[in-house]
Amino acid sequence: MNALRFGVVAVGVALVLSGCAASSPSDSTATPTVTPTPTPSAPAEPSPTLALSCADLISTDDAVALLGYPVELAPAAWQLTSISTVAAVQGGALTCQWTPPGVKPDRSADLSLSVSTHGPFSDPAIGSTCDTGSCEVALDRRWLFVRAWPTQGPNANTTVDAGAWDALVASVTSAVSAATQTNPPWTPPADTAQFEGCPSGFAPDPATLSADAAAAGLRLCAAEGRYFSVLPGGAWAMPTLTAELPEQYHKSPWVPVDVAGAGSALTRYGDGSFDVLATVDGTMIQVTRAGDASPDQGSTVEELTAEVVSELESIIAHY
């Protein structure tokens, strides 16, 4: 910030007359202080495109009434489990999960909700697809998905009451349709690394991304049994991932790992793959290698993880 400069000009006039001296009061004029208009700083983290909260759509009481046992709204941090979920949030999606107190969701929460303004809109004629316990609703430039999967009580691993479900879906649909306030798209800092193109030996992956992840700029590259993902600006989520070390269905929790050239990095394995997630100059990148550790074949988790780390280090050095 430039220093403010103050100028004070004083003019003194002395009149000396015969036999006496008189002085007039000083004329002093101060330059007004000018306070610069503060420049709004960009938010550190993305916000949902629709200015709605999970509680605006489904209250905890409503979730408990639907499921029939105590649940609570899971912390938003628990939903950041991978580069793809980080991308969805960065793209403006609102995601909510309700689980029994203290229980982290893995593959699916007891009650989950997603709201998007990006799609899918490829075929608006499809409209809504609803069954008891799972409902996908296509609105005008808005889309929502609600799913209930009880894990406790008499309806465990089955479904919920049809009447209560229909009422909940109708309430959520009405609230999403009526929402008018929006948040501006989140923009990564200007000096964020872009990692243009694909690394040597990789090609663009035609895998279908969620509309929100695509809006956030998530890019996928693939090679033989290997995958490289880039999310410009995604580094905002790494402190949360590092603090929470979330886990997904059939995968180990993330654990910190050293990766040369990266600001921070995490690794995990399971479900037939090894992942290393890292940040470089504001961007989140990930290398995934398909395969399982097999002591019978002389491979261990440590050895295969080291190979994936080495490949990611090589990619970072190239860029």
pTM for this entry:
0.81
Q: 20-34, 72-86, 138-152: which range is least confident on average?
A: 20-34
- Inform me whether the pLDDT recorded for 302 exceeds 70: yes
The three-class DSSP label of residue 88 is helix
Task: Detail the DSSP E strand segments found in 61-189.
Answer: 72-73, 94-99, 111-116, 129-131, 134-139, 142-148
Report if residue 34 sits inside a domain: no
Report if residue 46 sits inside a domain: no
| Same domain? 94 vs 174 | yes
| Same domain? 161 vs 223 | no
DSSP 308: H
pLDDT of residue 38: 53
Report if residue 183 sits inside a domain: no
Average confidence score pLDDT of the chain: 83
Gap between the Cα atoms of 271 and 106, Å rounded? 13
Report if residue 33 sits inside a domain: no
pLDDT of residue 29: 60
| Same domain? 313 vs 219 | yes
Question: What is the number of other CB atoms lying within 10 angstroms of the CB of residue 252?
Answer: 16
| Same domain? 172 vs 269 | no
| Same domain? 221 vs 173 | no
| Same domain? 59 vs 135 | yes
The three-class DSSP label of residue 28 is strand
Q: What share of the chain is helix, strand, coil (3-state, %, to 5)?
A: 25, 25, 45
Report if residue 195 sits inside a domain: no
Q: What is the mean pLDDT of residues 223-251?
A: 88
Report if residue 296 sits inside a domain: yes
Task: Provide the pLDDT confidence category of residue 32 given band limits of 50, 70 and 90.
Answer: low
| Same domain? 211 vs 155 | no
- Inform me whether the pLDDT recorded for 19 exceeds 50: no
Task: Provide the pLDDT confidence category of residue 3 given band limits of 50, 70 and 90.
Answer: very low
Residue at which a domain ends, from 142, 163, 178: 178
Phi-psi region of 107 (alpha: psi -120 to 50; beta: other; left: phi over 0): alpha
Report if residue 14 sits inside a domain: no
| Same domain? 60 vs 161 | yes
Residue at which a domain ends, from 161, 178, 195: 178
| Same domain? 249 vs 173 | no
Gap between the Cα atoms of 48 and 183, Å rounded? 7
* pLDDT single digits (tens) 87-103: 999 999 999 999 999 88
Gap between the Cα atoms of 62 and 176, Å rounded? 17
SS (HEC) of 185-200: CCCCCCCCCCCCCCCC
* Number of domain units in the chain: 2
Report if residue 1 sits inside a domain: no
The first and second tokens of residue 251, run together, are: 């995968």
Gap between the Cα atoms of 203 and 195, Å rounded? 14
Q: Which residues contact 88 (CB under 8 A, 6 or more apart)?
A: 95, 114, 210, 212, 213, 216
| Same domain? 217 vs 295 | yes
* pLDDT single digits (tens) 210-226: 888 999 999 999 999 89
As separate numbers, helices (DSSP H) first and strands (DSSP E) second, the chain gives: 7, 17
| Same domain? 228 vs 114 | no
Q: Which CA distances in Å does 11 have to 7, 21, 58, 226?
A: 13, 18, 71, 79
Q: DSSP of 133-151, one letter per residue?
A: TEEEEEETTEEEEEEE---
- Inform me whether the pLDDT recorded for 56 exceeds 60: yes
| Same domain? 314 vs 207 | yes
Structural domain range at position 281: 203-318
